[in-house]
Chain A
Amino acid sequence: MLPCSWGLWRSAIHTLKTFRASPSARGLCIPTRAVCDAETIFALSSGHGRCGVAVVRVSGPASSMVLRNMAGLTQALPPPRTALLRRITDPQSKELLDRGLVLWFKGPHSFTGEDSAEFHIHGGPAVITAVLQALGSLEGVRPAEAGEFTRRAFHAGKLGLTEVEGLGDLIHAETEAQRRQALRQMDGELGRLYQDWSYRLKRCLAHVEAFIDFSEDELIEDGVLNQVDSSVRQLETEIERHLKDERRGERLRTGVQVVIAGATNAGKSSLLNTLCQRPAAIVSPIAGTTRDIVETSLDIGGFPVLLSDTAGLRDSSDSVEREGVRRARQRVEQADLTLVVVDSTQLPPDPQLVPAFLQEHLSTVLPSPEAGMKAASDRVLLVLNKSDLVPEEQRERTEGELRERPGLPPACFLSCSTSTGLEDFLTVLQSRVKTLCGDPLSGAPSLTQARHRAHLQQSVQALNQYHQYRDQDLALAAEGVRLALTHLGRITGRVGAEEILDIIFRDFCIGK
Chain B
Amino acid sequence: MLAQKLHLLRHNVLSFVSSRTGSDLTRRQYDVIVVGGGHAGTEAAAAAARLGAETLLITQKIMTIGALSCNPSLGGVGKGQLVREVDALDGLCGRAGDSAGVHFSILNRSKGPAVWGPRAQLDRERYRQFIQSELLSTPRLTVLEGSVDELLVSQPNPEEPGHHRVTGIRLVDGSHPILSSSVVLTTGTFLSGSLFMGQTTSPGGRMGDAQSCAGLSYTLKETLGLRVGRLRTGTPPRIVKESVDLSLAQLQAPDKQPTPFSFLNTHTRCKPEEQLPCYLTHTTPGVERVVRESVHLNCHIQQDTKGPRYCPSIESRVLRFPGRRHQVWLEPEGLTSDLLYPQGLSMTMPPDLQLRLLREIPALHRAEIRAPGYGVQYDFVCPTQLTPSLQVKSTQGLFLAGQINGTTGYEEAAAQGLWAGVNAGRTALSLPPIALSRTQSYIGVLIDDLVGRGVTEPYRMFTSRAEFRTYLRPDNADLRLTPRGFEEVGCVTLRRYKKAVSVRDGLQEALMALQSVALSSTRWREKLGNISLSENKSTTLNRKQCWTFRIDIYAVYRPHCEKQSREMERIRSEESLSLPSDMDYLSLPVSLSHEVREILDRVRPNTLGAATRLPGMTPAGIIHLLNYVLRTGRSEDTHQFKLN
Contacts and interface: CB of A to CB of B under 8 A. Distances in A.
Contacts of B570: 10, 13-14, 17
B309 A213 contact: no
A12 B465 CA distance: 24
B344 A16 contact: no
Contacts of B577: 16, 20, 28, 30
B619 A8 contact: yes
Given A475-B470, A476-B560, A511 B115 contact: no
A172 B612 CA distance: 15
A504 B591 CA distance: 40
B59 to A, nearest CB: 29
A505 to B, nearest CB: 4
B615 A1 contact: yes
A475 B115 contact: yes
Contacts of A15: 623
B465 A497 contact: yes
Nearest to B592: A371
Interface stretch (B41-49, B202-210, B316-324, B509-517): B316-324
Contacts of A423: none
Contacts of A371: 591-594
A473 B343 CA distance: 29
Interface string B430-445: 0000000000000000
Contact of A497 (B110, B320, B464, B623): B464
B576 A511 contact: no
Interface stretch (B178-186, B348-356, B627-635): B627-635
Given A28-B577, A175-B620, A372 B593 contact: yes
Interface in B614-640: 615, 618-620, 622-624, 626-627, 630-631, 633, 635, 637, 639-640
Interface stretch (B147-155, B239-247, B325-333): B325-333
Given A29-B576, A372-B593, A497-B464, A219 B327 contact: yes
A496 to B, nearest CB: 9
Contacts of A175: 618-620
Give the interface size bracket for A toward B.
Answer: 35 or more
Given A16-B608, A212-B77, A505-B309, A25 B630 contact: yes
A205 B612 CA distance: 24
Given A30-B577, A216-B108, A510-B310, A12 B623 contact: yes
Contacts of A17: 570, 573
A211 B463 CA distance: 11
B321 A209 contact: no
Contacts, number: 179
Interface string B87-115: 00000000000000000000110111111
B78 interface: yes
A73 interface: no
Q: Determine chain A's interface SS by DSSP, over half rule.
A: helix
A306 interface: no
B574 A13 contact: yes
A505 B310 contact: yes
Contacts of B465: 497, 501
A12 B619 contact: yes
A167 interface: yes
Nearest to A175: B619
A28 B578 CA distance: 10
B612 A13 contact: yes
A33 B644 CA distance: 13
B117 interface: yes
A217 interface: yes
Interface in B105-140: 107-108, 110-115, 117
A149 B591 CA distance: 23
Contacts of A469: 112
A171 interface: yes
Contact of A476 (B112, B309, B321): B112
A512 B576 contact: no
A278 interface: no
A479 B470 contact: yes
Contacts of B321: 509
B317 A476 contact: no
A500 B327 contact: no
A19 B464 contact: no
Contacts of A479: 469-470, 560
Contacts of B592: 371-372
B327 A372 contact: no
Interface string B303-320: 000000111100001001
B570 to A, nearest CB: 6
A19 to B, nearest CB: 6
Interface in A1-60: 1, 8-17, 19-20, 22, 24-31, 33
A19 B317 contact: no
A372 B114 CA distance: 45
A473 to B, nearest CB: 4
A512 B622 contact: no
Given A28-B635, A219-B327, A479-B560, A511 B312 contact: yes
B627 A19 contact: yes
A228 to B, nearest CB: 13
A19 B569 CA distance: 16
B265 to A, nearest CB: 23
Contact of A511 (B76, B344, B627): B344
A30 B320 CA distance: 49
A9 B622 CA distance: 9
B556 interface: yes
A216 B77 contact: yes
A370 interface: yes
A11 B640 CA distance: 24
Given A505-B310, A509-B324, A171 B630 contact: no
Contacts of B612: 9, 12-13
A348 B398 CA distance: 60
A439 interface: no
Contacts of B326: 219, 509, 511
Nearest to A173: B620
B462 interface: yes
A372 B591 CA distance: 5
A474 B115 contact: yes
A119 B76 CA distance: 57
Contacts of B595: 368
Nearest to A370: B593
B557 interface: yes
B593 A19 contact: no
Nearest to B570: A13
B566 to A, nearest CB: 9
Contacts of A22: 630
A172 B625 CA distance: 13
A20 B111 contact: no
Interface in A359-404: 368, 370-372
B630 A510 contact: no
B623 A167 contact: yes
A212 B623 contact: no
Given A219-B325, A476-B112, A497-B464, A370 B618 contact: yes
Query: Which of B111, B470, B593 has most chain A Cβ within 10 Å?
Result: B111
Given A172-B618, A372-B624, A16 B574 contact: yes
A505 B310 CA distance: 7
15 contacts: A16-B574, A24-B630, A29-B639, A30-B576, A33-B569, A168-B620, A172-B618, A213-B77, A213-B115, A216-B76, A368-B595, A371-B592, A472-B112, A479-B470, A512-B329
8 shortest interchain CB distances as A-B pairs: A12-B619, A372-B591, A172-B620, A473-B112, A475-B112, A474-B111, A168-B623, A475-B114
Interface of A: 1, 8-17, 19-20, 22, 24-31, 33, 146, 167-169, 171-172, 175, 209, 211-219, 368, 370-372, 469, 472-476, 478-479, 482, 497-498, 500-501, 504-505, 509-512
Given A14-B570, A211-B111, A504-B464, 12 more contacts: A9-B622, A22-B630, A175-B618, A175-B620, A372-B592, A372-B593, A473-B114, A498-B453, A509-B324, A511-B311, A511-B327, A512-B329
